[in-house]
Amino acid sequence: MSSPPPASPAVQHCTVQPSAPLDPPLSVSSLSKDDSNPLDMTIIITTSPIRSNPSTLLIESIIDTFHYGGPEFLKCPRLIVADGFKLETESIDKRKKHVTEKSAMRSGIVNPSQKLNYEAFKSNLRSKCTSPPPTSPFHNTTLLELPTRHGYGFALKSALQTITTKHVCVIQHDRTFMRPTPISSIIATMNADPSVKYVGILMRSNLLYLEHFCSKYHSSLLNSNLSHVKRPSTLLLDKSQYGWNDVVAEDLCKRFSRCGEKYRTLRENYKNSVPYSQFLNQGGEEAQASLIPTLFWYDNIHICLTEHYLNFVFDPKLKLVARGGFVEDKLSPALVQCVRNVGFGEAMDKFGCYLFDDHCGVAFTGHLDGGSFLTEEQREGRKGGWIDENKKETVKKEEVEGEGDGDGDEDGDVDTSSIFGFGL
């Protein structure tokens, strides 16, 4: 395989330099810890122009799945950060023509009609976030509107600079929870073990992460990975919901029947995987879940220390995030390069990246593919038009919580067949 491009000197030596002073945080008083936020966590939802604007249905749909995170997760304040955009007439580079409308919007480029729809979308969000009733999906939610296009990574940075909670859960506008996820137990683990800085929640494409790891790296590195797996008592979970549970898995397959066979096939493959053979605990009254070291930072739903994001991931001296891009795009190769230079253990100490696996053999999260998502009315011919907010919008339940129609690389979701561009 070809060698990766040289990392910056700071990344090569994995030296964490002090960050430059941050801009004064915006006044978002609800985003700090108090008695109503026992997890000391803010949920950041990132959004940008998509075809379903001005409807807010997509974001409402993902929020509707937050109950899977548990009652304490539901108490966390939420911050929606709406990225800016570039007008098509101002920003098209003749050398980089976008083939489709979808690819243009993914780059933050909109035409005048899409601009109006996005502005109306933000206006709808603004209205719904203003004094909502406790039953509203937007209860305890603040909207941050960015005046210019930042891209996913730097839009997230802008949002992070406004919060004061210890933890942050980052969710893109088309990512959903699909089954119970023990967020409180993950937070308890992070509080007990400061070396855990990032915890990715499993999706379909990284369910067999260690199998891909085995196929790409030397066996000695797999041994290093396995020796750093964490299985603390804080991750002893209820067996009725977690662990190798046929009832939980089959319920998921039935609820999302369109993807049922994919889930069953993946689960059969999981039975032959390293996590199943090494870590599945079939005895006892509780299911022992694991934190598995990852050399890839997934932008899918994840929990991170706010300080780690601001002072390490976005440290301007390290240059781990490219302006206009996703966090995972540049940080992940830097993590692999760090392992090459200083060894697995020291690299993990600095990056602190893990995947949460309860060894059920099915994913926790799904992907709706925001770039293709349309409301029922838009599907019937009102694509790109103004949506009457007084009219009820509907969408099939399996498309709300399920995997969507994306090909695995939309909005930062990564096809695991290509996440390792080079070996060690």
Report H helices in 343-422.
344-351, 376-377, 397-401
More confident site: 412 or 82:
82
Per-residue pLDDT at 40: 98
* Closest residue by Cα to residue 118 from 51, 62, 175, 57: 51
Q: For the chain, give every domain's residue range.
A: 9-411
pLDDT at 410 over 80: no
Asked if pLDDT for residue 31 goes beyond 70, the answer is no
pLDDT of residue 217: 87
pLDDT higher than 80, residue 374: yes
Bond from prior residue into 132 cis (ω within 30 degrees of 0): no
pLDDT band at 41 (very low <50, low <70, confident <90, very high): very high
Average pLDDT in the 145-168 region?
A: 98
Is the pLDDT score of 21 beyond 70?
no
Mean pLDDT confidence for 60-68: 97
Which residues of 323-368 form beta strands (DSSP E)? 353-357, 365-367
* Confidence at 382, pLDDT banded by 50, 70, 90: low
> Rounded to the nearest 10 degrees, how much is the dihedral formed by the CA atoms of 34, 40, 45, 46?
110
Q: What is the pLDDT of residues 315-357, one digit of tens each?
A: 999 999 999 999 999 999 999 999 999 999 999 999 999 999 9
Instruction: State the angle between helix axes of 152-160 and 327-342 in degrees (0 to 180), rounded to the nearest 10.
Output: 90
- Closest listed residue to residue 205, CA positions, set 259, 281, 245: 259
User: What share of the chain in percent tops pLDDT 70?
Assistant: 79
- Cα–Cα distance measured from residue 64 to residue 393, given in angstroms and rounded to the nearest whole number: 14
At 150, list the tokens. Answer: 């930042």
pLDDT at 393 over 60: no
d(CA 26, CA 29): 9
